[in-house]
């Protein structure tokens, strides 16, 4: 049976004690530490599986709204210490400030990670980096909420410069406009690009926060392993439906064990073409939602422009402006490997719709004035 172990992994990794693809790091546990009983119950289950390297639980929860559960706070550190003592599991938690680092280190936490919301703030990252000088436990940095690879790389670089040796990254997906059946977009090319830029930084994936729904977690975990990520962080709860945070995405221990067997068991089941299709189609559905959002937002703007044209006594069709639009999108299309004819067909269709809408707004005005002007659609 595969067993990831941070010291064993060190031999094969010249930069850190973190794992590589052959020796993936598995971090599992609830989104939040809720009560001492809940925490111990989940830990007791996970301690049965030697594939679990670290038991995770958030005690300081960076929540989008102030009305959500904010975490147990410092009291939760004691619960994590009890877990460590009673189950032998190594424990991990999220830190979002210098103070958190100080408290977590004092409590003997074995691994720290920095959450997506914190990574977006270079001031805080620098403070955390300074407080980690000379610390030799693994530190993992989640990707920032926005798909900004430089921000992610910048945070990792600050920690490297502070002398953090066991440094790794966590891919948890990116916030994106529009609704989707995934909570966060995986945008796989970003972590893969980070791997190119920082080849010695292992990247693990967090399918729970990408999926947002437990039914999609196995497929995303499969995809991460197929993409040679160095491990997984997965949220597990004994009563996921009633979890105090991220209830929709946490797995029961049994589902988690099954997933581990599928991925790393005696007979691992590789991603089937059916599963891969399902995951890729979920991503395509998201792109379609974005396209529809972009088209309808564009039409709305076009309607507003028609109002302005009406007031200014202009016609719907503004040839020079339209030519400018077409040239611009063709150039962008070429840079993005899109066929020029394809772009032309799409933009002709968009233009036709947009003109139709503008003409209806201008209807009673059109026959009166036919002035061409440059501030058009």
Residues that bind ligand PEP (CB under 6 A): 31, 58, 62, 94, 115-117, 142, 172, 209
Stretch of residues binding Mn ion (CB under 5 A), selected from 144-152, 243-251, 260-268, 290-298: 243-251
Shortest Å distance, C-beta 163 to ligand PEP: 24
DSSP secondary structure of 68-92: S----TTHHHHHHHHHHHHH--EEE
Q: Which one of Mn ion, ligand PEP, none interacts with residue 172, CB within 5 to 8 A by kind?
A: ligand PEP
- Locus of tokens 């991603």: 271
CA distance 212 to 246: 8
Shortest Å distance, C-beta 94 to Mn ion: 9
Cβ proximity to ligand PEP: between 18 and 376 the closer is: 18
Cβ proximity to ligand PEP: between 61 and 309 the closer is: 61
> Of these, 246, 262, 275, 279, which contacts Mn ion (CB under 5 A)?
246
CA distance 300 to 305: 9
Reported in sequence order, the residue ranges of the chain that DSSP labels E, i.e. its strands, are 25-29, 54-56, 90-95, 111-114, 139-142, 167-171, 203-205, 231-235
Q: Which one of ligand PEP, Mn ion, none interacts with residue 51, CB within 5 to 8 A by kind?
A: none
Stretch of residues binding Mn ion (CB under 5 A), selected from 110-118, 242-250, 347-355, 366-374: 242-250
CA distance 58 to 252: 17
Other beta carbons within 10 Å of 1: 10
Cβ proximity to ligand PEP: between 249 and 286 the closer is: 249
Cβ proximity to ligand PEP: between 145 and 316 the closer is: 145
Shortest Å distance, C-beta 208 to Mn ion: 7
Shortest Å distance, C-beta 14 to ligand PEP: 28
Other beta carbons within 10 Å of 56: 26
Cβ proximity to ligand PEP: between 58 and 333 the closer is: 58
Shortest Å distance, C-beta 229 to ligand PEP: 15
CA distance 37 to 256: 20
Cβ proximity to ligand PEP: between 51 and 172 the closer is: 172
DSSP secondary structure of 240-261: GGG-SS-TTTPBPHHHHHHHHH
Residue 172: strand, helix, or coil: coil
Beta bridge partners of 185: 174
Cβ proximity to Mn ion: between 63 and 78 the closer is: 63
> Of these, 6, 9, 31, 139, which contacts Mn ion (CB under 5 A)?
31
Q: Which positions lie near Mn ion, rule CB under 5 A? A: 31, 246
């Amino acid at each position: 049976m595969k067993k990831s172990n941070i010291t064993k992994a060190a031999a094969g990794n010249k930069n850190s004690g973190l794992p590589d693809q052959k020796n993936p790091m598995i971090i599992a546990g609830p989104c939040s530490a809720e009560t001492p009983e809940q925490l111990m119950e989940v830990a007791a289950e996970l301690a049965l599986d030697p594939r679990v390297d670290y038991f995770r639980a958030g005690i300081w929860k960076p929540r989008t709204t102030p009305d959500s559960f904010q975490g147990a706070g410092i009291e939760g550190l004691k619960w994590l210490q009890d877990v460590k003592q009673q189950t032998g599991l190594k424990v991990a938690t999220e830190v979002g400030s210098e103070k958190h680092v100080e408290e977590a280190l004092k409590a003997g936490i074995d691994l720290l990670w920095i959450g997506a919301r914190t990574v977006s703030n270079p001031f805080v990252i620098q403070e955390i980096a300074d407080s980690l000088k000379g610390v030799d436990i693994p530190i993992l940095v989640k990707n920032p909420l926005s798909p900004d690879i430089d921000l992610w790389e910048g945070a990792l670089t600050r920690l490297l410069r502070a002398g953090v040796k066991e440094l790794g990254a966590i891919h948890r997906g990116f916030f994106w406009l529009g609704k989707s059946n995934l909570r966060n977009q995986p945008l796989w090319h970003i972590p893969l690009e980070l791997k190119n830029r920082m080849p010695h930084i292992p990247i693990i994936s967090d399918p729970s926060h990408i999926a947002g729904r437990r039914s999609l977690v196995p497929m995303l975990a499969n995809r991460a392993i197929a993409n040679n990520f160095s491990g997984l962080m997965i949220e597990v709860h004994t009563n996921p439906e009633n979890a105090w945070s991220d209830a929709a995405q946490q797995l029961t221990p049994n589902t988690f064990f099954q997933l581990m067997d599928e991925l790393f068991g005696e007979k691992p089941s590789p991603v089937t073409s059916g599963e891969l299709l399902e995951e890729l189609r979920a991503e395509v559905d998201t792109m379609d939602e974005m396209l529809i959002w972009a088209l309808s937002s564009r039409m709305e703007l076009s309607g507003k422009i028609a109002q302005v044209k009406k007031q200014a006594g202009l016609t719907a069709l503004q040839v020079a402006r339209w030519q400018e639009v077409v040239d611009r999108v063709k150039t962008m299309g070429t840079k993005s490997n899109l066929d020029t004819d394809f772009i032309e067909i799409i933009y002709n269709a968009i233009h036709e719709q947009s003109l139709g809408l503008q003409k209806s707004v201008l209807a009673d005005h059109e026959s009166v004035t036919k002035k061409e002007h440059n501030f058009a659609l």
